[in-house]
A and B are shown apart, each in its own frame.
Chain A
């Protein structure tokens, strides 16, 4: 079974609109972390935002926020006021076992976001 599912292979959004990128995850570990990374066409992997499973509040970083719904096992990324430079691949990833030394990330398939002017 997929541990990280991103159901939107691609999205087109008008510039300045908000966009929500979906991510659902599957784990039985009570201690985990969820990450979103952006990968522009140049290829580098850019960290956007992190949510820990025990965090009480949804994470926010500038125009990025994470809509964390633990019971539904979803961790959607919300980008407010989208910009042309937001066009990129977006990956959701999970790290299980925060209490031990397991630091490997499990990745979703990604969503290609294109911002239209």
Chain B
């Protein structure tokens, strides 16, 4: 099936720093999604991207839909302690618009 590769696997940063993470696929995706999962909870949608090249912001978060449609990036600016969690990319592949695939996540730790 479809596979998404997320990197880095984990990040340890200082409060106030900016963060970048990305997600790549060997096949084309029609939609890219970025979720955050807190301990003991389900993932919560942060940003959805629907068009190649699209750049969308949600507060301090900015995500981009790669022009090749095979990758996406998430940036967090001026990190704060509550940004701690696991960030997942997910997407709907071109071949099956109704079935999403998730990456294995980037674990973010923010040191105060």
Q: Are A and B a genuine interacting pair, yes or no?
A: no
